[in-house]
Amino acid sequence: MSDARPDPDKGCFSLAIVDIDNSKQINDTYGHYCGDQVLVSFAQVLQDNVRETDAVGRWGGEEFILLLPETGLEAAATACEKIRGIMARSSVCYQDCQIMVTATFGVSQYQVEGGIEETLRYADEAMYRGKQAGRDRVVMAEDR
């Protein structure tokens, strides 16, 4: 008989919608080619800092989505905070300029009763609350 405790996050998943902050300003200041380089660099930071079981995808525009299997809301927020911090401490080099890039993360845990559409909506709403609160932060979906 095993004395291992059950993992409370086993079988659940969370997701995050991530939006690069001030992307319009980057495009307006440095041009769209630079904006594309920022997207590529940011995607690489995301990919380099998730687990093998996690998935990273482009959600549209300057938004990305992270799928974090077997991860509850708090653990997902912690993982996103790690990535946010890495990004905030780094920069993208473009034509001898160091461009600081930050992002805002909205995190939500899947709930069977609401389905994936509601999970996405809650993550998106959390991300927008983060933008309104000043950007460069991780915001968890409010209790449902």
- Residues annotated as catalytic (active site), given as ranges: 62
Beta-sheet pairing, 138-140 with 103-109? parallel
Taking the C-alpha atoms of residue 104 and residue 19, their distance in angstroms, rounded to an integer, is 5
Taking the C-alpha atoms of residue 115 and residue 95, their distance in angstroms, rounded to an integer, is 45
Structure token digits, residue 57: 């995808």
**Which residues, 6 or more positions from 42, have their beta carbon under 8 angstroms from its beta carbon?**
20, 64, 87, 92, 101, 103
